Every structure is written in structure tokens, then in C-alpha cells.
Structure 1
Amino acid sequence: MNKMQAPLPKALAELFRHWQPDGETGVPEVEAVFSAGHSNRNFLVRQGALRFVVRLPEGDGRRLGIDREVERQVLERAESIGLGAPVLFCDPRRGTLVTSWLESRPLRVEGVAADLMIDRLAAALRKLHAQKLDVPVLNIVDRIRSYARDVQSDDSRNWPRARRWLSGTRQVLEQYRFARWRDVLCHNDLVAQNILDVDGRIHFIDWEYAARGDPYFDLATLAEDNGFERLDRSRLLLAYGEFGDAASERLYRARVLYRLLSVLWYLMRLRGANNEWLPALARQEQALETLLRNGVED
């Protein structure tokens, strides 16, 4: 987070012209901007005694598959089961979402408490995946193809790079395409920075990609982004209620798709002379190459 002392950005000033938090009449002040967000600009705002997070789209949110109305519905359900922050305001047309600020600390899955934390994460996912909510279904392969089409049409320089990875993962893509999986309510972006410890309770943030989908994609994202080793992944599957070779195969395929989707996402951002995303892209490519080389036994 970076401290902000400047006047309100234009988009925030516009927000406060037509919305004010209940019971607060003070002047809103931007305390910080969260620079880690890739699909949103996130501002921590204080107004009177209230602190809240304003989320504004970074570029074309629809192009990245973001629907604020769906995000609102999912967040309200998540808040009702103790996994999300309360929604204070939502304007789908402008792509604006305001939620309460959660005082928290980053989640740590390491050391002697790692097994217990993995069990808690699995329990949180079971709770989320048990929810029934009428929101769109996301097939990760469809999202991968959508991202690939964007790279192909908008960036001829990087298309050969994307095509190489699509070719290298073709077998996994075909296996996943014809696999049967139950669709459940998923977060779909459970990277480490989106998992918080709030007074000893797990909360998830940044729900913009939430949809009904394959629960194994949530498990795979969690495992990959938190650097789970083989024993950690086995523990996660067992705590979630899945085990055996079939479960390990499904998790492996979902891990490959997570890394491939991430590679394509960064390639979409890598246009012209913008080299800002090169280090992150290189890390994703290295992780994907390792997965493909080592296979499910990794």
C-alpha cells in the first residue's frame, strides 16, 4: 500500500457525488491505494469513523470477464456465511463496488501450523462450494480460449508465445474439455493476497471472477499460488474430502489450467513497450513448464 495525500481521483469524486455511506457526513479521504490489484484500482477510504474499500475497474473489466452485479451477489452470499466483506454500494454500470474494510493480516501457510491452516482453508472452500446461487457458469477452458483470441487479434508479436503454450497444454485442455465436473460456487482467484486472516477467521476478498465452476480450480489456485508441495496438496485434497489417483489427476489438470490462464492473462497485459509485467509472466511460464515436465507426480 502507498500513502495518498493528493485530492480525490476523478472517479472517486464522481462516486461521492451520488453516494454517501449511511450516517457519515465528513469529507472522504483516501488513506491508501492497493497497488497489487491487476483487474481493479482499489482505494482504502476513510470518511468519519468508517473505513471502506472502493473498487474501480482497471481497463475493460468486461473483457477480462468481470461483472460487478454477479460480484455483488456472490459477495453478499459470502458475507452471510462469514467468508466475505459486507457490500456497502454497487454500481454495475460504472463498474464500482464499495465494501467494508476488513482489519486483517495476510494468511501464512508455513511452519508447524501449516497442516492446521490447510485444514481451515479446505473447510472454508467446502462451505463456499456448498452454496447454491444462480450466477453464470464459468468453464476455464472457455476463458482460456477467450484470452487466447484476444492475444491473437491484438498482439501479433506475442501470439507465437501464446500459441506455444497452448500447443504444449493441448492434451490437458482436451482432457478437461471432455471431463465431467459438477459446477459449484467458486471464487476462481484464490491467490495468496486474496486470503485474509480476520481475527482468526478466514476471509476471501476480490471476488470479481466468482462464478459457478469446477471446485478443483479453486483448489489448484490455492495450492499453486501458496507454493504447496506434494504432501501439502495431498493434505488439502484429504481435508476437502477428495482422495486417490483420480483426485490427484484432476488437481494436476486444474493446476496446469491455472498456470496457462495466468500466462495468457499477462500476455494480454503485455502490449507495446509495456515491460512492467515481464517478471511476473516469466515466473508463470517457468511454473507451467515445470508442471508439464514433471507431470502429476510433481
Structure 2
Amino acid sequence: MAESAGALEQALDTWPDWCMGLNGRPSVIAPVPGGRTNLSYQLHAPGLPYELLLRLNNPQGESLGIRREHEQRILDTVAAADITPGADYWSPDYRFTVFRHIGARTWSARDLENPHQRRRLQQMLARVHQLEPETPVRCYQDYLNHYWQQLDVAGMVGPVLARAWEEFWPRLVAFDHSGWRPVLTHHDLIPENILETDERLYLIDWEYAAVGHPDIDRWCLDPSLVLDPFVHELAQWTNELWERVVALNSRRAEQ
């Protein structure tokens, strides 16, 4: 907690570098709840007619498969298409990011179960899948192997999990080479990343996004929409390994 408080104060001290028309140091209104990767804070912004959101980026982002330079390019692309607000400032070392705060309602699981809401979200996803950021196509075997190697080195792989991985791996390699058409994919389409104002929807938190398989977003929305049966297994492995890496990072932070 003290470490994050120090990081927040250091970030706020750089406010003159943000070049946003501020006439004083921003102050914290409140932490923004939700989110398991980063810490975010709603800010009062002297001199601006709106509030800001400062996101302290997880220092273990690379271990979680996050490439901030790719996120920045994707966010610029999505913001230009008016699907999400863009970032107003990225710190040079990607330690933190500043956005305009959106006064909006966060979706719940009930929204995803609502046919009308799901149609609205599917229409937005169709727009997302047409965008072409200048980022690499995701190789899912490399992405999951990055998680696996961390767990293996840390001694967090038991014999049952190792056998399951050995059986899964050839199918994952075959999937990557099966000729599917890559599109921009959010990869983290949970209700907490969907905001609704009186006028519209926004999709936020693009740090896990990549040019990848569109069925991943369909799986998050409704597994029955998935066209490639392997995606069910891929999504389950991704979530399982991610959880284990998060636990590994937490254990290291406590040592």
C-alpha cells in the first residue's frame, strides 16, 4: 500500500509534463474500484472543466503479457474510431497513464444477459474487428508459453498440470497455424470494461488487446457464439495460467 501511495505521489508531481492546461497539481478524489491489473484514481484537475483518471500501470505488466507500447498504438486506433476515449498522457517509462474521467455506469453481468444490450455490444465489436492497428498478430502459443515458463521456473507446475499442458500444446500449435483471419480483439471483454452513459457505450481497458482471434471476444460475450470449438479450451487455459501468474507475482511481492 505504501509503495503504491508513493508511486501515486510521484506521478502527480509530474503534472506540468502532462501539457493538458492544468494550473495546479491534481488532487485525488477517490480510488476507482474494480480492476485486478492496475490501480486507478479519480482526480480533481485544477484549470480543467472535467476530472481525470490516473492509472498506475502494474509494474509486473510484462509478466502478465502486457506490452504498453502496443496498448498505446491500439488505444490510439480505437479512440480515433470513437469507441473509447484516448489517453491524454503516457509517462515516458509507461509507469502511469492519464485519461479523462468518464461519468458512466459500469455494466453488470445482467447487461450481458440482456438481448438488447448484447446486440448493442455486438455492433460495437463488429466495428472493433474492422480496425487495423500497427501491432503484431498474436501468436497464442508464444503468449501462453510466456505464462507457462514463469510458472515452470518458479516450481509451480505439478505433474497433473504438466501432463494436461503436454496434451494441450500440439492442439494450440495447430490452432495458430489453422489459417483463421486475425482481427483486432479486446481479449478482456468483462462487464467491468463496458461503460454506459446516457448517450452511448464505451469499451475501456485495452491492455490485453491484440490483433487476434475474434472468437475470444465472442467467448467472453456468450460461449454459444463461438465458431471454433478450440477457443473454449484456449480461453480456459489463458484464464487459468493468468490466475496462476497473478498468484506468483503476489507471492513474490510479499517476500
TM-score by length of 2: 0.83
Report if aligned partners of 1:67, 1:92 keep a CA contact under 8 Å in 2.
no
Deviation larger for 122-131 or 109-118: 109-118
Partners of 1:162 and 1:264 within 8 A in 2:
no
For the 8 Å contact 2:42–2:54, the answer to whether it is kept is yes
The aligned amino acid for 1:221 is C
Tell me the alpha carbon deviations over residues 72-131 of structure 1, each in whole angstroms, 9 at most, x when there is no partner.
221122122221123110125243211111111122464898222221111111101101
Measured after TM superposition, the shift of residue 53 of structure 1 is 1.6
Instruction: Confirm or deny: 8 A CA contact 2:60 2:249 kept in the other structure.
Output: no
Aligned length, in residue pairs:
245
% same residue: 24
Contact 1:44–1:101 at 8 Å: present in 2 too? yes
For 2:239, give the aligned amino acid: S
CA deviations on 1:163-196 (whole Å, 9 max, x unpaired) are: 2542564575254233211121222211221111
| Contact 1:189–1:218 (8 Å) recurs in 2 | yes
Please give the residue correspondences for 1:110-125 in structure 2 after superposition, counting only pairs within 5 Å: 110=110, 114-125=114-125
Task: Tell me whether 1:9 sits opposite 2:5 in the alignment.
Answer: yes
Q: Residue in 1 aligned with 2:243?
A: 266
| Residue of structure 1 in register with 2:62 after alignment | 62
Alignment of 1:127-276 (within 5 A): 127-154=127-154, 156-160=155-159, 162-167=161-166, 169-170=168-169, 172-223=171-222, 230=224, 233=225, 247=227, 250=228, 252-271=229-248, 274=251
Instruction: Report the counterpart of residue 81 of structure 1 in structure 2.
Output: 81
Give the distance between the partners of 1:253 and 1:92, measured in 2 at CA.
Answer: 39
Aligned mates of 1:112, 1:125 — CA distance in 2: 13
**Contact 1:28–1:46 (CA under 8 A) maintained in structure 2:** yes
The letter for the 2-side match of 1:51 is E
The alignment's TM-score, normalised by the length of structure 1, stands at: 0.72
Consecutive unaligned residues of structure 2, counting only runs of 5 or more, are none
What is the letter of the counterpart of residue 236 of structure 2? R
If asked which structure has higher relative contact order (CA below 8 Å, sep 6+), I would say 2
Give 3-state SS (helix, strand or coil) of 1:53's partner: strand
Residues 191 and 221 in structure 1, CA contact (< 8 A), matched pair in contact too: yes
Structure 2 CA distance, aligned partners of 1:34 and 1:163? 38
Query: Residues 159 and 31 of structure 1: is their aligned pair in 2 closer, same or farther, counting only changes over 3 Å?
Result: farther
Contact 2:39 2:58 (8 Å CA) reproduced? yes
Q: Taking structure 1 as reference, are residues 42 and 160 closer, same or farther at Cα in structure 2, changes over 3 Å only?
A: farther
Cα root mean square deviation, aligned: 2.8
Task: Give distance in 1, aligned partners of 2:250 and 2:100.
Answer: 37
Residue 20 (structure 2) aligns with: 22
Contact 2:111 2:118 in 1 (8 A): no
The 1:17/1:197 distance shift into structure 2, 3 A limit, reads same
Asked if the contact 1:183–1:214 (Cα under 8 Å) also holds between the matched residues in 2, the reply is yes
Q: Which runs of 4+ in 1 moved over 6 A?
A: none
Structure 1 segments unaligned to the other structure (5+ residues): 1-5, 225-229, 238-246, 275-298
- The answer to whether the 8 A contact 2:129-2:214 is kept is yes
**Does 106-115 or 16-25 show the bigger shift?**
106-115
User: How far 1:59 sits from its partner (Å)?
Assistant: 3.2
Q: Kindly state the Cα deviation for residue 35 of structure 1 after the two structures are TM-superposed.
A: 4.6
1:259-295 CA deviation, whole Å, 9 max, x = no partner? Answer: 2111111111223995xxxxxxxxxxxxxxxxxxxxx
Tell me the distance in 1 between the aligned counterparts of 2:160 and 2:96. Answer: 34
